[in-house]
A = this chain, B = another copy of it.
Amino acid sequence: MRGIFNNEYFGRNSMTYRIGIDLGGTKIIGAIFDEKHKKLASIKKNTKGFQGPEVTIKRIVDLIYSLLKTSHLSVKAISSIGFGVPSSVDHLSGKMLTAPNLGWKDVNLKVAIEKEFGIFTYVENDVNAGTYGEYVMTLKKKYEHVVGIFFGTGIGGGLIINGQLFHGARGMAGEIGHMVLKPNGLLCGCGNKGCFETVASKSGILHQMKLDSKKKGNQFLKKVVKKEDALVVKSSDLKKALELGDPYITKQVAKMARYMGLGIANIINILNPQAVILGGGVMEGLKDYLWPALLKNLNKNAFPGSLETVEIRVCELGDDAVMIGASLLAEVYRG
């Protein structure tokens, strides 16, 4: 322990550190950042969410102690802990309301972590945290109204309005994935039909693939992944099929790209943002294949006056966005 460098030995003006944790369905990633956003240490663990919140929270606590140890910092050097979680969140109480990928309901992560460490803790939806992180680190100097859209297994969104994360009535603002784009389309995980998610996310394209494979045999599944269950297909599998020129996947991805362009255009028409940040596994993995059709349909559907002034860009922070955003939001709410 480099005790002499710890915050406890210094006054108000010494360096403080913040912890950001991205709690995912399968992995927990945590990091310590200094005031200049430099990452001092980063640790990854399995989530084991389906063993219940107690098991996962114990794993998070261990991860935080490991982060402190690795970076030679004491608990007192940490000003706040921020979480990005795959859940709807009551951000004021710190309660995770419904986390389908973990199988949790009404888990107050803030209370559990504050009890263990006595450090101010803030819990935010992961997409909101990622949007905020990307915004602060790359766009805050230029813009104050920014939308983040993340294309992965599903589609998530985050809204920055007047330079702040916008929560809406109860933290549900930005559920862009459940904007209906195809009335009476495919069934969505939310129970509705034709959501943006059913036409422009990995789960949507795989759902379509499954239906098609019953009708005409799915060449993609046979040639590339050789798996029976389309739901375990990764973005990289889709990329392989595109590289091999698989005509079915090429067509499906082009359709997905067109719907991406349409959905982004709708958001631009409704909110007139200064920038739209696009991220998520599908966007990062397949960008080169998606981009031309996406941009073409975006240009076709967005209102010219709003289109002229909007910057469309791909997320730069990658996996760090959620951790950085969560840790920055914790500082905002710590006040």
Q: Point out the residues of chain B lying under 8 angstroms from A166, CB to CB.
A: 161
Q: Point out the residues of chain B lying under 8 angstroms from A170, CB to CB.
A: 272, 305-306, 309
Known: A180-B266, A183-B181, A266-B179. A274 touches B169 (CB 8 A): yes
Max chain B C-beta neighbours (<10 A), residue from A98, A145, A175, A310? A175
Asked whether B183 lies within 8 Å of A262 as measured between CB atoms, the reply is: yes
Given contacts A161-B162, A173-B272, A183-B262, 19 further A-B contacts (CB under 8 A): A145-B169, A161-B161, A162-B162, A168-B272, A168-B274, A169-B306, A170-B272, A170-B305, A172-B272, A172-B303, A173-B271, A174-B270, A178-B269, A178-B303, A180-B181, A180-B301, A181-B181, A266-B266, A270-B270
CB distance from A128 to the nearest CB of B (A): 11
Asked whether B310 lies within 8 Å of A179 as measured between CB atoms, the reply is: no
Q: How many copies does the complex hold?
A: 2
- A300 interface residue per 8 A CB criterion: yes
Q: Which A residues lie at the B interface, using CB under 8 A?
A: 88, 97-98, 145, 157, 159, 161-162, 166-176, 178-183, 190, 192, 262, 265-267, 269-274, 300-301, 303, 305-306, 309-310
Max chain B C-beta neighbours (<10 A), residue from A145, A168, A181? A168
